[in-house]
Amino acid sequence: MDKLCIRGQNPLRGEVAISGSKNAAVAIIPAALLANDVVTLENVPHIADVANLVSIMRDMHVQVDYLDEHTLRIDSRNMVNDCANSEGVRKMRASYYLLGVLLGRFKHARVAFPGGCDFGVRPIDLHVKGFEALGASVTTKAIIEMKATELLGTNIFLDFASVGATINIMLAAVLAHGTTVIENAAKEPHVVDTASFLNSMGADVKGAGTDTIRIRGVRRLHGSEYAIIPDQIEAGTYMVASAVTGGDIKITNVIPRHLDSISAKLREIGIRIREEDDAIRVIGGGRLKPTKVKTLPYPGFPTDMQPQMMVLLSMVNGTSMINESVTDNRFRYVEQLQKMGANIDVEGHIAIIEGVDRLSGSEVAATDLRAGAAMVLAGLAAEGTTYVTNINYIDRGYEGMVDKLKLLGADIERTGGSDPVLRVIKDHAG
């Protein structure tokens, strides 16, 4: 299996361009199937999760072509409605969006249970609640099967502002009869981007980005050309990369307001941040202060930035605290950081961090996608050499991470050599 070798303590300097948002792409790509037409998507990130989705759709006889590394042409006019036995579905949680899309278009869906990063129980009960409220009958045995004679708009109150449930209900509701209102909706940038994409196909979705989203069902959707937003979490990861290495990085192709909670927390610690229209400059170094972080749904501090922030705080003198309030059991990676000398005490959803002067290189494993990115950040900061294994997790959500870090001056190498995503595409393309 491939692994990364990182020789730490090079301050990262220069410019890095952010790729398209993974969490927008994994929703918008299946959403294209709602239009019995041709859709072209630009700024698609070149990552394994996208390659996997493309493979799942090709297995459903959807014509998917890469017009270039970041542009997909999707023609679903001859697709078949079945992915009950798809291996690809079991590899990623976001394949659950096929439920909303197939129910919305065909009023019938047969989908294998979604897989994905293992940090605790990750049910989809809120998704199912939404589908049933729209009129679907749902059975969850070996696979998830849903049927509806028709979908009728309704009011749905989400117990939790779930990203996946908000998007999935939108996907099922855009072709329903009547109006659906989602209360306590998630407001993440990728929720808004998915709503914007649906509207570009002729849907009528209003209020995305607020607590209440109203979807007026339409009879059909048409093709569209759409560009996906930049990745908020990839940008945040490179912001922390500058902070942990005492570097000076200009991060381009971003939407600064999507990064507000990350910028605010880094400034609180003492990191200098300068915003431009579509770029953000992050200058590390200097005396940093401990702080408290509580993860929350957007616009709060993102849970997907929690491991990265943990790495930074592990080297800030004093006592810091992280409260992981969004996701169950998302501290599994901490024992890997402790191998590098971090002084962290985890009690349930709370981590207490006593800053140490420096981390020391070690062999560590990525336990999920964002934890894998955090291990890379720790290696970039640590004294000596760090080896990161299980980096297939990182390939799922970070385009060209090794190349981007090398351009910033990191001393980092990947064993195994070839482009991991191309390997996934080739594997799937047959």
* Interacting residues with ligand EPZ (CB under 6 A): 22-23, 26, 93-94, 117, 122-127, 160, 162-165, 186, 303-304, 326-328, 369-370, 397
Q: What is the CA radius of gyration of the chain?
A: 21
> DSSP E strands: which ranges in 268-414?
272-275, 279-283, 292-294, 319-323, 343-347, 350-354, 363-365, 385-389, 411-414
- CA-nearest of 426, 342, 333 to 388 is 333
Give the whole-angstrom CA distance, residue 228 versus residue 235. 15
Cβ distance to ligand EPZ smaller for residue 113 or 178: 113
Q: Which helix (H) or strand (E) holds 307?
A: helix 306-313
Q: Least CB distance from residue 333 to ligand EPZ, whole Å?
A: 12
Cβ distance to ligand EPZ smaller for residue 304 or 399: 304
Cβ distance to ligand EPZ smaller for residue 288 or 394: 394
Q: Least CB distance from residue 417 to ligand EPZ, whole Å?
A: 26
Q: Least CB distance from residue 163 to ligand EPZ, whole Å?
A: 4
Q: Map tokens 């980092």 to a residue.
A: 412
**Which one from 34, 117, 233, 340 is the annotated catalytic residue?**
117
Cβ distance to ligand EPZ smaller for residue 24 or 282: 24
Classify 157 as helix, strand or coil. Answer: strand
Contacts for 306 with CB less than 8 Å, ≥ 6 apart: 293, 295, 322, 324, 330, 370
| Known catalytic residue at 117 | yes
Q: Least CB distance from residue 355 to ligand EPZ, whole Å?
A: 26
Q: Least CB distance from residue 368 to ligand EPZ, whole Å?
A: 7
Q: Least CB distance from residue 171 to ligand EPZ, whole Å?
A: 13
Cβ distance to ligand EPZ smaller for residue 196 or 362: 196
End-to-end alpha carbon distance in the chain: 21
Cβ distance to ligand EPZ smaller for residue 232 or 291: 232
Nearest 5°: the CA angle 46, 51, 55 is: 160
Q: How many residues does the chain have?
A: 430
Give the C-alpha distances (Å, rounded to integers) separating 38 from 64, 74, 167, 192, 225.
10, 6, 21, 22, 9
Cβ distance to ligand EPZ smaller for residue 288 or 401: 401
Nearest residue to ligand EPZ on Cβ basis:
164
Contacts for 216 with CB less than 8 Å, ≥ 6 apart: 153, 178, 179, 204
Residue type, 287: R
Q: Which two tokens stand for residue 425?
A: 């595409």
Q: Least CB distance from residue 90 to ligand EPZ, whole Å?
A: 15
- Which residues are catalytic, by number? 117
